[in-house]
Copies of this chain bind each other. A is one copy, B any other.
Amino acid sequence: MNNTRVLLAKRPEGLPSPDCFILHESRAPSLAPGTVRCKTDFLSIDPYMRSVIGGNHMGQTVEVGGVIPGEAVATIIESDNSDWPVGLQVRCKTGWQSISDHQTAELSRIPQGLTQPSLALSILGMPGLTAFAGLTSLAKVGAGDTILIPAAIGGVGAMAGQLCRLAGAKTIGISSGPDKCKIATHKLGYTHCIDRLHGDIAEQLQAVAPEGIDVYFDLVGDPILTIAAQQLALNGRVILCGLIQDYNGQIKTMGPPPGLWIGKRATVMGLVVYDFEHQREAFERGYTPLVEQGLIQGNESIYQGLAQAPQAFCDMMNGAALGKVIIAV
Protein backbone atom coordinates (compact mmCIF):
# COMPACT_ATOMS: atom_id res chain seq x y z
CA MET A 1 0.00 0.00 0.00
CA ASN A 2 1.40 3.37 -1.04
CA ASN A 3 1.61 6.30 1.36
CA THR A 4 1.84 9.88 0.06
CA ARG A 5 3.67 12.07 2.54
CA VAL A 6 4.70 15.72 2.79
CA LEU A 7 8.17 16.09 4.30
CA LEU A 8 10.06 19.10 5.57
CA ALA A 9 12.59 19.99 2.86
CA LYS A 10 14.18 22.88 4.74
CA ARG A 11 13.34 25.13 7.65
CA PRO A 12 11.66 28.37 6.53
CA GLU A 13 13.08 31.79 7.23
CA GLY A 14 10.41 34.43 7.63
CA LEU A 15 7.23 33.69 5.71
CA PRO A 16 7.26 30.04 4.60
CA SER A 17 7.24 29.17 0.89
CA PRO A 18 6.08 25.92 -0.77
CA ASP A 19 9.68 24.87 -1.48
CA CYS A 20 10.15 24.26 2.24
CA PHE A 21 8.14 21.07 1.65
CA ILE A 22 8.55 18.04 -0.60
CA LEU A 23 6.05 15.37 -1.61
CA HIS A 24 7.24 11.79 -1.16
CA GLU A 25 5.77 8.37 -1.95
CA SER A 26 6.63 5.33 0.12
CA ARG A 27 5.25 1.90 0.84
CA ALA A 28 3.41 1.49 4.13
CA PRO A 29 4.80 -1.38 6.26
CA SER A 30 2.51 -4.13 7.49
CA LEU A 31 0.27 -3.20 10.44
CA ALA A 32 1.63 -3.81 13.95
CA PRO A 33 -0.45 -5.94 16.37
CA GLY A 34 -3.21 -4.08 18.25
CA THR A 35 -3.02 -0.97 16.09
CA VAL A 36 -5.23 0.50 13.39
CA ARG A 37 -4.47 1.97 9.99
CA CYS A 38 -6.18 5.20 8.92
CA LYS A 39 -6.73 6.85 5.56
CA THR A 40 -6.64 10.63 5.94
CA ASP A 41 -9.87 12.33 4.85
CA PHE A 42 -9.44 15.94 6.02
CA LEU A 43 -6.18 17.43 7.26
CA SER A 44 -6.06 20.47 9.53
CA ILE A 45 -3.54 23.21 8.75
CA ASP A 46 -2.79 25.44 11.74
CA PRO A 47 -0.53 28.44 12.49
CA TYR A 48 1.29 26.73 15.39
CA MET A 49 2.88 24.41 12.79
CA ARG A 50 5.01 27.35 11.70
CA SER A 51 6.91 27.16 14.99
CA VAL A 52 7.03 23.37 14.88
CA ILE A 53 8.75 23.39 11.48
CA GLY A 54 10.85 26.34 12.64
CA GLY A 55 12.34 23.98 15.22
CA ASN A 56 10.34 24.42 18.42
CA HIS A 57 6.74 24.78 19.51
CA MET A 58 6.36 24.09 23.21
CA GLY A 59 8.86 21.29 22.92
CA GLN A 60 7.40 19.87 19.69
CA THR A 61 9.59 19.86 16.59
CA VAL A 62 10.18 18.09 13.28
CA GLU A 63 13.53 17.41 11.65
CA VAL A 64 14.31 18.14 8.01
CA GLY A 65 13.17 15.02 6.12
CA GLY A 66 10.43 14.25 8.65
CA VAL A 67 6.69 14.17 8.03
CA ILE A 68 4.96 17.46 8.92
CA PRO A 69 2.77 16.81 11.99
CA GLY A 70 -0.91 17.61 11.96
CA GLU A 71 -4.37 16.53 13.05
CA ALA A 72 -6.94 15.02 10.72
CA VAL A 73 -10.28 13.36 10.35
CA ALA A 74 -9.49 9.90 9.01
CA THR A 75 -11.25 6.62 8.28
CA ILE A 76 -10.06 3.33 9.70
CA ILE A 77 -9.13 1.02 6.81
CA GLU A 78 -7.44 -1.79 8.72
CA SER A 79 -7.90 -2.69 12.35
CA ASP A 80 -6.52 -5.11 14.90
CA ASN A 81 -8.88 -3.83 17.62
CA SER A 82 -12.61 -4.62 17.49
CA ASP A 83 -13.51 -1.44 19.45
CA TRP A 84 -12.23 0.58 16.49
CA PRO A 85 -13.72 -1.14 13.42
CA VAL A 86 -12.91 -0.56 9.77
CA GLY A 87 -15.05 2.21 8.32
CA LEU A 88 -15.22 4.28 11.52
CA GLN A 89 -14.29 7.94 11.07
CA VAL A 90 -11.99 9.23 13.82
CA ARG A 91 -9.85 12.20 14.73
CA CYS A 92 -6.12 11.58 15.13
CA LYS A 93 -2.69 13.07 14.53
CA THR A 94 -1.95 11.61 11.14
CA GLY A 95 0.57 14.17 10.04
CA TRP A 96 0.64 15.31 6.43
CA GLN A 97 0.26 11.89 4.84
CA SER A 98 -2.42 9.77 3.26
CA ILE A 99 -1.94 6.66 5.42
CA SER A 100 -0.99 6.45 9.10
CA ASP A 101 -0.91 3.77 11.78
CA HIS A 102 -2.01 4.41 15.36
CA GLN A 103 -2.32 2.99 18.80
CA THR A 104 -6.02 3.15 19.64
CA ALA A 105 -5.29 5.46 22.59
CA GLU A 106 -4.30 8.07 20.03
CA LEU A 107 -7.74 8.04 18.39
CA SER A 108 -10.81 10.01 19.37
CA ARG A 109 -14.34 9.90 18.03
CA ILE A 110 -15.66 12.85 16.10
CA PRO A 111 -18.69 14.60 17.56
CA GLN A 112 -21.90 12.60 17.25
CA GLY A 113 -24.43 13.90 14.77
CA LEU A 114 -21.95 15.94 12.78
CA THR A 115 -22.89 16.09 9.10
CA GLN A 116 -19.72 17.75 7.82
CA PRO A 117 -16.76 15.84 9.34
CA SER A 118 -14.15 18.52 8.60
CA LEU A 119 -15.83 20.76 11.17
CA ALA A 120 -14.34 18.43 13.78
CA LEU A 121 -11.04 20.11 12.89
CA SER A 122 -12.25 23.70 12.89
CA ILE A 123 -15.30 25.11 14.58
CA LEU A 124 -15.81 21.94 16.67
CA GLY A 125 -12.14 20.98 16.86
CA MET A 126 -9.05 22.33 18.51
CA PRO A 127 -9.56 25.90 17.20
CA GLY A 128 -13.16 25.91 18.43
CA LEU A 129 -12.14 24.53 21.81
CA THR A 130 -9.48 27.23 22.03
CA ALA A 131 -12.11 29.93 21.55
CA PHE A 132 -14.44 28.22 24.02
CA ALA A 133 -11.76 27.86 26.72
CA GLY A 134 -10.51 31.42 26.34
CA LEU A 135 -13.84 33.16 26.25
CA THR A 136 -15.86 30.97 28.60
CA SER A 137 -13.40 29.67 31.21
CA LEU A 138 -10.92 32.54 31.21
CA ALA A 139 -12.46 35.81 29.97
CA LYS A 140 -16.02 34.90 31.01
CA VAL A 141 -17.48 37.02 28.20
CA GLY A 142 -21.05 38.14 28.74
CA ALA A 143 -23.71 40.59 27.61
CA GLY A 144 -22.48 44.15 27.62
CA ASP A 145 -18.87 43.26 26.88
CA THR A 146 -17.12 44.71 23.87
CA ILE A 147 -14.64 42.19 22.51
CA LEU A 148 -11.89 42.49 19.93
CA ILE A 149 -10.79 39.48 17.89
CA PRO A 150 -7.94 39.69 15.37
CA ALA A 151 -7.69 37.01 12.67
CA ALA A 152 -11.48 37.26 12.86
CA ILE A 153 -12.39 34.63 10.27
CA GLY A 154 -9.62 32.10 10.98
CA GLY A 155 -10.03 28.83 12.82
CA VAL A 156 -10.15 30.26 16.33
CA GLY A 157 -11.52 33.66 15.37
CA ALA A 158 -14.61 32.34 13.57
CA MET A 159 -15.75 30.45 16.66
CA ALA A 160 -14.64 33.21 19.04
CA GLY A 161 -16.72 35.83 17.27
CA GLN A 162 -19.81 33.65 17.20
CA LEU A 163 -19.50 32.53 20.84
CA CYS A 164 -19.27 36.18 21.90
CA ARG A 165 -22.22 37.15 19.72
CA LEU A 166 -24.29 34.35 21.32
CA ALA A 167 -23.20 35.63 24.75
CA GLY A 168 -24.65 39.02 23.89
CA ALA A 169 -21.33 40.82 23.45
CA LYS A 170 -20.46 43.49 20.92
CA THR A 171 -17.95 41.77 18.65
CA ILE A 172 -15.28 43.60 16.69
CA GLY A 173 -13.11 41.63 14.32
CA ILE A 174 -9.91 42.54 12.51
CA SER A 175 -9.20 41.02 9.13
CA SER A 176 -7.41 41.87 5.88
CA GLY A 177 -9.28 43.19 2.87
CA PRO A 178 -12.95 43.78 2.10
CA ASP A 179 -13.76 40.16 1.17
CA LYS A 180 -12.65 38.78 4.51
CA CYS A 181 -14.29 41.63 6.41
CA LYS A 182 -17.55 40.84 4.61
CA ILE A 183 -17.30 37.20 5.70
CA ALA A 184 -16.82 38.44 9.27
CA THR A 185 -19.87 40.66 9.36
CA HIS A 186 -22.25 38.89 6.94
CA LYS A 187 -21.49 35.24 7.60
CA LEU A 188 -20.09 35.15 11.13
CA GLY A 189 -22.17 37.99 12.57
CA TYR A 190 -19.47 40.33 13.86
CA THR A 191 -20.85 43.72 14.83
CA HIS A 192 -17.94 45.42 13.03
CA CYS A 193 -14.85 44.29 11.18
CA ILE A 194 -11.77 46.48 10.89
CA ASP A 195 -9.79 46.12 7.66
CA ARG A 196 -6.17 46.18 8.76
CA LEU A 197 -5.01 46.86 5.20
CA HIS A 198 -7.02 50.05 4.79
CA GLY A 199 -6.53 52.88 7.25
CA ASP A 200 -5.06 53.13 10.71
CA ILE A 201 -6.13 50.22 12.95
CA ALA A 202 -6.06 52.28 16.15
CA GLU A 203 -8.24 55.01 14.65
CA GLN A 204 -10.76 52.52 13.28
CA LEU A 205 -10.92 50.78 16.64
CA GLN A 206 -11.46 54.07 18.44
CA ALA A 207 -14.33 54.84 16.06
CA VAL A 208 -16.23 51.58 16.60
CA ALA A 209 -15.41 51.15 20.32
CA PRO A 210 -15.06 54.68 21.72
CA GLU A 211 -15.72 53.35 25.23
CA GLY A 212 -12.78 50.92 24.95
CA ILE A 213 -12.70 47.16 24.69
CA ASP A 214 -13.47 44.87 27.61
CA VAL A 215 -11.92 41.71 26.24
CA TYR A 216 -9.11 41.23 23.75
CA PHE A 217 -8.44 37.71 22.51
CA ASP A 218 -4.91 37.87 21.16
CA LEU A 219 -4.03 35.48 18.37
CA VAL A 220 -1.43 37.55 16.55
CA GLY A 221 0.94 39.43 18.86
CA ASP A 222 2.27 42.88 18.04
CA PRO A 223 1.55 45.40 16.67
CA ILE A 224 -2.16 44.70 17.25
CA LEU A 225 -1.59 43.46 20.82
CA THR A 226 -0.18 46.79 21.89
CA ILE A 227 -2.87 48.77 20.04
CA ALA A 228 -5.53 46.69 21.79
CA ALA A 229 -3.88 47.19 25.18
CA GLN A 230 -3.86 50.94 24.67
CA GLN A 231 -7.58 50.91 23.95
CA LEU A 232 -8.51 48.48 26.69
CA ALA A 233 -11.27 49.67 29.02
CA LEU A 234 -10.51 49.81 32.74
CA ASN A 235 -10.51 46.30 34.24
CA GLY A 236 -10.29 44.80 30.77
CA ARG A 237 -9.32 41.16 30.23
CA VAL A 238 -6.75 39.96 27.73
CA ILE A 239 -6.32 36.36 26.58
CA LEU A 240 -2.85 35.69 25.21
CA CYS A 241 -3.19 32.72 22.92
CA GLY A 242 -1.23 32.97 19.69
CA LEU A 243 1.58 34.92 18.10
CA ILE A 244 1.23 34.35 14.38
CA GLN A 245 3.54 37.23 13.49
CA ASP A 246 6.23 35.78 15.73
CA TYR A 247 5.78 32.30 14.26
CA ASN A 248 6.86 33.74 10.93
CA GLY A 249 9.99 34.95 12.69
CA GLN A 250 9.51 38.45 11.36
CA ILE A 251 9.00 40.13 14.69
CA LYS A 252 9.50 39.31 18.34
CA THR A 253 6.39 40.51 20.13
CA MET A 254 7.30 42.30 23.34
CA GLY A 255 3.75 43.40 24.09
CA PRO A 256 2.85 46.58 25.89
CA PRO A 257 4.93 47.69 28.87
CA PRO A 258 3.67 46.50 32.29
CA GLY A 259 2.91 50.10 33.25
CA LEU A 260 0.09 50.08 30.70
CA TRP A 261 -1.41 46.91 32.20
CA ILE A 262 -1.28 48.59 35.63
CA GLY A 263 -3.00 51.74 34.41
CA LYS A 264 -5.74 49.68 32.78
CA ARG A 265 -6.13 47.40 35.83
CA ALA A 266 -5.95 44.66 33.25
CA THR A 267 -6.13 40.93 33.80
CA VAL A 268 -3.92 39.15 31.27
CA MET A 269 -4.19 35.38 30.93
CA GLY A 270 -2.06 32.92 29.01
CA LEU A 271 -4.03 30.18 27.24
CA VAL A 272 -2.76 26.83 25.99
CA VAL A 273 -5.62 24.75 24.61
CA TYR A 274 -3.99 21.45 25.60
CA ASP A 275 -4.89 22.32 29.21
CA PHE A 276 -8.60 22.20 28.34
CA GLU A 277 -8.85 18.67 26.95
CA HIS A 278 -11.16 17.83 29.86
CA GLN A 279 -13.69 20.38 28.53
CA ARG A 280 -13.74 18.98 25.01
CA GLU A 281 -16.63 16.57 25.50
CA ALA A 282 -18.90 19.18 27.07
CA PHE A 283 -17.91 21.65 24.37
CA GLU A 284 -18.74 19.24 21.55
CA ARG A 285 -21.99 18.13 23.16
CA GLY A 286 -23.10 21.73 23.65
CA TYR A 287 -22.14 23.17 20.30
CA THR A 288 -22.63 20.38 17.74
CA PRO A 289 -26.43 20.96 17.74
CA LEU A 290 -25.93 24.70 17.22
CA VAL A 291 -23.66 24.01 14.27
CA GLU A 292 -26.09 21.48 12.82
CA GLN A 293 -28.96 23.95 13.15
CA GLY A 294 -26.96 26.68 11.42
CA LEU A 295 -26.83 28.89 14.51
CA ILE A 296 -23.03 28.74 14.32
CA GLN A 297 -21.42 28.79 10.90
CA GLY A 298 -18.30 26.95 9.95
CA ASN A 299 -15.88 28.94 7.83
CA GLU A 300 -13.42 26.66 6.10
CA SER A 301 -11.13 27.18 3.18
CA ILE A 302 -10.84 23.67 1.72
CA TYR A 303 -7.94 22.80 -0.60
CA GLN A 304 -8.12 19.62 -2.70
CA GLY A 305 -5.36 17.04 -2.38
CA LEU A 306 -2.30 16.60 -0.20
CA ALA A 307 -0.12 18.17 -2.89
CA GLN A 308 -1.87 21.49 -2.12
CA ALA A 309 -0.95 21.39 1.58
CA PRO A 310 2.28 23.44 1.23
CA GLN A 311 0.51 26.22 -0.71
CA ALA A 312 -2.43 26.15 1.69
CA PHE A 313 -0.08 26.49 4.66
CA CYS A 314 1.70 29.44 3.05
CA ASP A 315 -1.61 31.13 2.22
CA MET A 316 -2.64 30.83 5.86
CA MET A 317 0.63 32.23 7.17
CA ASN A 318 0.55 35.28 4.90
CA GLY A 319 -3.13 35.97 5.48
CA ALA A 320 -4.42 34.97 2.04
CA ALA A 321 -6.75 32.18 3.19
CA LEU A 322 -10.45 32.96 3.56
CA GLY A 323 -11.09 30.74 6.56
CA LYS A 324 -9.79 27.82 8.57
CA VAL A 325 -7.48 25.95 6.20
CA ILE A 326 -8.38 22.28 5.57
CA ILE A 327 -6.99 19.82 3.03
CA ALA A 328 -9.46 17.34 1.54
CA VAL A 329 -7.04 14.46 1.04
**Chain A interface (Cβ < 8 Å from any Cβ of B):** 58, 218, 221, 225, 240-241, 243, 246, 252-255, 257-259, 261-272, 275
CB-defined contacts of A253 to chain B, threshold 8 Å: 257-259
Q: How far, in angstroms, from A262 to B218 measured CA to CA in the complex? A: 11
Distance from A264 Cβ to chain B, minimum over Cβ atoms (Å): 6
CB-defined contacts of A259 to chain B, threshold 8 Å: 221, 243, 246, 253
Q: How far, in angstroms, from A252 to B243 measured CA to CA in the complex? A: 23
Q: How far, in angstroms, from A259 to B247 measured CA to CA in the complex? A: 11
Q: How far, in angstroms, from A136 to B152 measured CA to CA in the complex? A: 37
Whether B270 and A58, one on each chain, are in contact in the complex, defined by CB atoms closer than 8 angstroms, is: no
Whether B272 and A243, one on each chain, are in contact in the complex, defined by CB atoms closer than 8 angstroms, is: no
Q: How far, in angstroms, from A94 to B225 measured CA to CA in the complex? A: 41
Distance from A216 Cβ to chain B, minimum over Cβ atoms (Å): 11
Q: How far, in angstroms, from A243 to B58 measured CA to CA in the complex? A: 30
Distance from A213 Cβ to chain B, minimum over Cβ atoms (Å): 15
Give how many copies assemble into the complex.
Answer: 2
Q: How far, in angstroms, from A271 to B263 measured CA to CA in the complex? A: 8
CB-defined contacts of A269 to chain B, threshold 8 Å: 265-268
Distance from A222 Cβ to chain B, minimum over Cβ atoms (Å): 8
Distance from A253 Cβ to chain B, minimum over Cβ atoms (Å): 6
| Most chain B Cβ neighbours within 10 Å, of A218, A246, A267 | A267
| Most chain B Cβ neighbours within 10 Å, of A243, A258, A271 | A258
CB-defined contacts of A270 to chain B, threshold 8 Å: 258, 261-267
CB-defined contacts of A261 to chain B, threshold 8 Å: 240, 268, 270
Q: How far, in angstroms, from A270 to B258 measured CA to CA in the complex? A: 8
| Most chain B Cβ neighbours within 10 Å, of A241, A257, A263 | A257
CB-defined contacts of A221 to chain B, threshold 8 Å: 258-259
A51: nearest chain-B partner, CB-CB:
B259
CB-defined contacts of A252 to chain B, threshold 8 Å: 257
A218: nearest chain-B partner, CB-CB:
B258
- Using A240-B261, A243-B258 as known contacts, list a sample of 5 further A-B pairs with CB atoms less than 8 Å apart, ordered by residue number in A: A221-B258, A246-B259, A253-B257, A254-B257, A265-B272
